[in-house]
């Protein structure tokens, strides 16, 4: 190819130094999508298909029959109590950990991560050990006619244990990355503690906070193992939605079980959609910043 | 106040330390420290022979083998495919990528019981997937493995993602200019950098799988000595009102989980030191 | 190996980064691509390296078209601004990398690799840290290792992207001198990118001044400094005073813009043709030189004059100068451009 003609037409496209040949790319994408389809997507779709298998009437009947309704109510109450409490905890823990340097911080972080490494069944068990009839406080509770295990309080406590890390874990890395400068500047300008928190910190973490709460709620409503241990499975009284699903399934009422399950699956989808939306907001801001630096000169 | 003086390493002008930390510690004590110590203390009321026979009964040992074995395999598979999924999400663009990225978090958001019955329906003899397979999945260890792979999936992907995103392009360019083929660059330069995060993701998936209950019990069928997982045994003992027995097994699992946490932390610290961060 | 660049065009989105660039680099020369951010110098370097693909144009190595050659086959060495060392490998392995990834046919054996790496580490005077890791090294040491690594594959062209940009001023000065000496010893065709005109003038055989994707001037340092082809080059290399219109006439008249460097203005006792009247505002002595700030009496514009401190001390004594004194300034040399060539927006 002579120099003259070469300079007149665009050079043959060569692969950039840091990318794979096209066939490798397509293969990898194919493998990834196939794996995700089999393990994630198909099960998700199966829930809805099985729920509607016997028709819409059966579906609606399943979710409106009394035991199901009381299960839904109980789930909502348990979540309604646990999530706000965990929100307050998450914010307090994140404030202490992210904005201050103190001894034992690592221990605290490990403790906060503990529910993730403990089996939910064990979590339920330990609360039985503490509050159950043979437990530490068992006698005292019976004497005062208070029921924790096999009643709502037990369910709430177990749920709180399982889900309290979520808000904290969303906030801590973000607040650590954001640093203290803005808050210190506010302090120097004379702002008080709550003012600093409300006006400076909170607006900076609002999306992460929202996502943490949503995730916490989804897990709270869907918790199965721990609640299974502490609830006693009393139909109409101490059955949350996941437990109700188990009962229906064990009684071979598959369509009904999937019907109730589909409500929780729908909640999961809403959770994911919200996460996607939250990340898109954060991403577009990051992209604008990055594109300014991206053009090499 | 007291907490600040005792614990703060560096003076801070920001207020609220005592209040925040105080509340945090109170909350944690009530929900974690007190209950967990109850578990240990309860086992100390058992005699050693009683404890030992509870945790080493054949059925229990079979459950250990199944739980730890299936969890290990599931985490391994997740490590391999999770790397591919993460690579594809970070490096490539394709239709529906954002949707796929969000979907990866499904095991986090979907209740375990819902996942459990969905997987059972899929892999049963006449389920959508089960009918195509020449071997039985439900009521076997394979079913357990399938469920554990499902719930561990996000761990590897989400742990790898930030590391892969932060990977300096220049390092790959340097390797290419020095003459390395793309595969050489991947194995000699990129993979070693990803290895710590990959290991951490694997460990997290493994730890989670060991304790998993809801998604497994439906597809496992819970046949003693075959497809019974350890968490289920704990519940079985509780239903038989054998609280000490259940607690003993729980202690074994807690110790394993604690050792795993230590290992993860040590691994992370070691790799951070080695790479100078 | 000589490099020829013909008609290179490159845009990123709507921004034209390289605008029909032509350049010749004879074999063995040490050339600086000098310009402000956004001038296209780094993009041009990366196109030569094969890290970017031009929209059109060619790159020829020793007469051969290399525009579409694979990055890993170009026989170029590249040194990045932030070193891009492999953090998980020892220094020895970093330098050996290029040799280890050679195809089996051309791969040297372990003894040869060891010999070559040790030789290179001695060359950059860092043979004593072969077993350390990059994070244990200082910035200057890392950059020298990056250079050793690039040289290990015996490239025919060495390309450096702002190699000293991330380093302290003192380390930068040392490494500049060191790079010059290294080049004299090895005689590899080298191109380096910088925005520091002092660095370019000190190190390079030839300076290519770039602005907005175009080459403004291309020549030896003295030529570029003393005989700038455009106002941009004049202003980018060294300080300059800008005068509109002809000296001695009120500003704004006449179509010319004149430039005088601060050290090319004399202070004279009495008015002469071509001189201007100015009042001394400030005298600052920094190191070996004194910088004087004057204000023109006619249009109140500021004029900077620079001279060795001893000259200033003598002058001050002789003429009894102090802040507020009126003097006459006479340019020894004027560079004039027509107002059409002068684009104030192009100045920094």
Q: What is the least distance, in Å, from the CA of A47 to any CA of chain B?
A: 6
C162 pLDDT tier (thresholds 50, 70, 90):
very high
| Least confident stretch, A174-188, C83-97, C248-262 | C248-262
Which positions 43-102 of A are in contact with B (Cβ < 8 Å)?
A: 43-44, 46-47, 50, 88-89, 92-93, 95-96, 99-102
Q: Inter-chain contact C65–A3, Cβ cutoff 8 Å?
A: yes
pLDDT tens across B219-259, in order? 888 888 888 899 999 988 888 888 888 888 888 888 887 78
Percent of chain C with pLDDT over 90: 36
Cα–Cα nearest to A215, from A164, A282, A258, A154: A164
| Predicted complex ipTM exceeds 0.85 | no
Average pLDDT over residues C150-162: 91
- Most confident listed range (A7-21, A85-99, B43-57): A85-99
Chain B neighbors of A218, CB-CB under 8 A: 108-109, 111
Phi then psi for B129, rounded to 5 degrees? Answer: -95, -40
Q: What is the pLDDT of residue B74?
A: 95
* pLDDT at residue A187 tops 60: yes
Which is higher by pLDDT, C135 or B273?
C135
Closest A-chain CA to B105: A272
| pLDDT (tens digit per residue) in C264-292 | 888 888 888 878 888 999 989 888 999 99
Within 10 angstroms of residue B231's Cβ, the number of other Cβ atoms is 29
Confidence of residue A264 (pLDDT cuts 50, 70, 90): very high
Note the helical H segments in B31-140. Answer: 34-44, 48-56, 58-91, 97-103, 106-109, 112-123
Q: What are the pLDDT digits (tens) for A81-95?
A: 999 999 999 999 998
Indicate yes or no: CB of C7 within 8 angstroms of CB of A297. Answer: no
- Which is nearest to B34 in space by CA: A137, A164, A82, A230? A137
How far is residue A137's CA from residue A130's CA, in Å, rounded to a whole number? 6
**C72 pLDDT exceeds 90?**
no
Q: What are phi and psi of C90, to 5 degrees?
A: -70, 165
What pLDDT is stored for residue A16 in this prediction? Answer: 64
Closest-CA distance, A110 to chain B, in angstroms, reads: 8
Q: Looking at residue C345, what is its pLDDT?
A: 57
Selected residues 216-255 of chain C with any CB under 8 Å from a CB in chain A: none
Within 125-164 of A, beta carbons closer than 8 Å to B belong to 125-130, 132, 134-136, 157, 160-161, 164
Q: Which of C76, C101, C135 sits opposite B180 (nearest CB)?
A: C101
Average pLDDT score over residue span C97-104: 88
* Whether B173 contacts chain C with CB within 8 A: yes
- pLDDT given for residue B70 in this prediction: 93
- From the CB of residue A43, how many other CB atoms can be counted at a distance below 10 Å? 29
Which of A92, A118, A129 comes nearest B247 by C-beta? A129
Q: Determine the Cα–Cα distance for residues A286 and B49; give it in Å rounded to an integer.
A: 60
Residues of C in contact with B168 (CB under 8 A): 82, 84
Query: What is the rounded average pLDDT of the residues A55-60?
Result: 86
Share of chain A above pLDDT 70, in %: 89
Total residue length of chain C: 348
Looking at every residue in chain A, the average pLDDT score rounds to 82
Min distance A152 CA to chain B CA atoms (Å):
16
pTM of the model: 0.81
Residue C11: burial class (beta carbons within 10 Å; 0-12, 13-18, 19+): middle
DSSP state of C18: E
In the predicted model, is pLDDT for residue A293 greater than 50? no
pLDDT-derived band at C26 (thresholds 50, 70, 90) equals: very high
Beta carbons of A3 and C65 less than 8 angstroms apart: yes
Cβ separation B173–C84 shorter than 8 A: yes
Judge whether B154 and B160 are in contact, CB under 8 Å. no
Q: Per residue in C183-231, pLDDT tens?
A: 988 889 999 999 988 899 999 999 999 999 999 999 999 999 888 888 8
Report percent pLDDT > 90 for chain A. Answer: 30
What would the mean pLDDT of C306-333 be, rounded to a whole number? Answer: 88
A1 pLDDT band (50/70/90 cuts)? very low
Task: Tell me the pLDDT of chain B averaged across its residues.
Answer: 86
Res C247 pLDDT > 60 = no
C191 vs chain B: nearest CA distance in angstroms? 16
Binning pLDDT at 50, 70 and 90, where does residue C344 land? low
Task: Encode pLDDT of A104-115 as tens digits.
Answer: 887 888 788 878
Query: What was the pLDDT predicted at C95?
Result: 94
Chain C residues closer than 8 Å to A15 by CB = 70
| pLDDT (tens digit per residue) in B77-90 | 999 999 999 999 99
Query: What SS3 state is found at C30?
Result: strand
Neighbors of chain B with 3 or more C-beta pairs under 8 Å: A, C
In A, minimum Cα distance to C51 occurs at A17
Residues 18-77 of C with CB under 8 A from A: 37-43, 46, 50-58, 60, 65, 67-72
Tell how far CA C21 is from the center of its chain.
18
């Amino acid at each position: 190819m002579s120099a003259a003609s070469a300079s007149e037409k665009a050079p043959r496209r060569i692969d950039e130094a840091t990318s794979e040949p096209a066939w490798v790319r397509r293969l990898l994408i194919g493998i990834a999508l196939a794996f995700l389809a089999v393990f994630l997507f198909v099960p998700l779709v199966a829930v809805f298909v099985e729920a509607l298998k016997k028709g819409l009437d059966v579906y609606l009947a399943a979710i409106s029959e009394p035991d199901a309704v009381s299960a839904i109510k109980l789930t909502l109450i348990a979540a309604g109590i646990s999530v706000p409490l965990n929100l307050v905890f998450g914010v307090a823990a994140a404030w202490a950990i992210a904005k201050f340097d103190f001894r034992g911080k690592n221990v605290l972080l490990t403790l906060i991560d503990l529910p993730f490494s403990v089996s939910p069944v064990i979590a339920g068990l330990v609360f039985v050990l503490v509050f159950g009839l043979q437990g530490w406080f068992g006698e005292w509770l019976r004497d005062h006619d208070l029921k924790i295990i096999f009643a709502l309080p037990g369910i709430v406590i177990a749920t709180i244990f399982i889900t309290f890390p979520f808000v904290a874990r969303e906030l801590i890395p973000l607040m650590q990355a954001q640093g203290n400068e803005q808050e210190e500047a506010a302090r120097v300008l004379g702002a008080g503690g709550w003012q600093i928190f409300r006006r400076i910190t909170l607006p900076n973490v609002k999306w992460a906070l929202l996502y943490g709460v949503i995730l916490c709620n989804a897990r709270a409503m869907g918790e199965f193992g721990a609640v299974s241990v502490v609830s006693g499975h009393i139909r109409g009284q101490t059955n949350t939605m996941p437990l109700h699903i188990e009962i229906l399934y064990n009684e071979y009422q598959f369509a009904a079980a999937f019907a109730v399950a589909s409500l929780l699956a729908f909640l999961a989808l809403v959770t994911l959609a919200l996460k996607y939306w939250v990340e898109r907001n954060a991403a577009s801001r990051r992209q604008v910043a990055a594109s300014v630096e991206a053009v090499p000169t | 106040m007291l907490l600040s003086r005792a614990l703060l390493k560096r003076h801070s002008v920001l207020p609220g330390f005592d209040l925040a930390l105080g509340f945090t510690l109170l909350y944690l004590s009530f929900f974690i420290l007190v209950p967990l110590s109850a578990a240990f203390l309860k086992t100390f009321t058992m005699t050693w022979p009683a404890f030992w026979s509870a945790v080493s009964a054949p059925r229990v040992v079979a459950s250990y083998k199944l739980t730890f074995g299936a969890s290990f395999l599931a985490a391994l598979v997740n490590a391999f495919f999770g790397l591919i999924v993460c690579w594809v999400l970070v490096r490539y663009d394709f239709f529906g990528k954002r949707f796929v990225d969000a979907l990866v978090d499904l095991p986090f958001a979907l209740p375990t019981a819902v996942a459990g019955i969905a997987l059972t329906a899929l892999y049963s003899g006449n389920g959508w997937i089960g009918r195509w397979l020449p071997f039985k999945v439900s009521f076997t260890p394979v079913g357990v493995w399938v469920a554990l792979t499902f719930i561990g999936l996000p761990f590897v992907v989400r742990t790898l993602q930030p590391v892969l995103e932060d990977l300096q392009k220049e390092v790959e360019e340097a390797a290419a200019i020095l003459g390395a083929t793309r595969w050489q660059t991947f194995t000699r330069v990129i993979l070693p950098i990803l290895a710590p995060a990959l290991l951490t993701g694997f460990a997290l998936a493994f730890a989670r799988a060991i304790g998993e209950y809801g998604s497994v019990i439906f597809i496992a069928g819970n046949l003693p000595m075959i497809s019974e997982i350890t968490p289920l045994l704990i519940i079985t003992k509780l239903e038989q009102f054998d609280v000490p027995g259940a607690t003993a097994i729980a202690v074994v699992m807690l110790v394993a989980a604690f050792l795993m946490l230590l290992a993860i932390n040590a691994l992370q610290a070691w790799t951070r030191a080695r790479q100078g961060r | 190996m000589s490099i020829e660049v013909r008609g290179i065009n490159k845009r990123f989105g709507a921004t034209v980064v390289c605008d029909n660039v032509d350049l010749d680099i004879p074999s063995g020369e040490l050339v600086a691509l000098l310009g402000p951010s956004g001038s296209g110098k780094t993009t041009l370097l990366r196109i030569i390296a094969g890290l970017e693909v031009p929209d059109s144009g060619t790159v020829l190595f020793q007469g051969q078209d290399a525009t579409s050659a694979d990055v890993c086959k170009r026989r170029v060495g590249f040194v990045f601004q932030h070193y891009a060392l492999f953090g998980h490998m020892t220094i020895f392995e970093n330098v050996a990398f290029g040799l280890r990834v050679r195809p089996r046919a051309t791969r040297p054996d372990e003894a040869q690799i060891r010999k070559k790496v040790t030789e290179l580490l001695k060359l950059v005077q860092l043979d004593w840290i072969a077993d350390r890791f990059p994070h244990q090294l200082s910035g200057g040491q890392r950059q020298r290792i990056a250079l050793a690594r690039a040289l290990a594959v015996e490239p025919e062209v060495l390309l450096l992207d702002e190699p000293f940009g991330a380093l302290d001023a003192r380390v930068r000065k040392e490494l500049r001198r060191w790079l010059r000496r290294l080049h004299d010893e090895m005689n590899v065709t080298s191109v380096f990118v910088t925005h520091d005109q002092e660095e370019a003038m000190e190190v390079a055989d030839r300076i290519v001044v770039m602005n907005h994707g175009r080459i403004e001037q291309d020549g030896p340092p003295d030529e570029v400094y003393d005989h700038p082809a455009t106002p941009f080059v004049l202003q980018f290399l060294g300080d300059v005073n800008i005068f509109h219109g002809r000296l001695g006439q009120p500003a704004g008249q006449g179509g010319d813009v004149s430039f005088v460097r601060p050290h090319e203005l004399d202070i004279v006792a009495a008015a002469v043709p071509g001189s201007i009247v100015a009042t001394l505002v400030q005298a600052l002595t920094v190191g070996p030189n004194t910088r004087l700030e004057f204000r023109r009496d006619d249009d109140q514009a500021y004029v900077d004059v620079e001279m060795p401190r001893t000259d200033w001390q003598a002058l001050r004594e002789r003429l009894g100068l102090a802040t507020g004194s009126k003097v006459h300034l006479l340019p020894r040399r004027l560079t004039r451009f027509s107002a059409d060539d002068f684009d104030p927006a192009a100045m920094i």
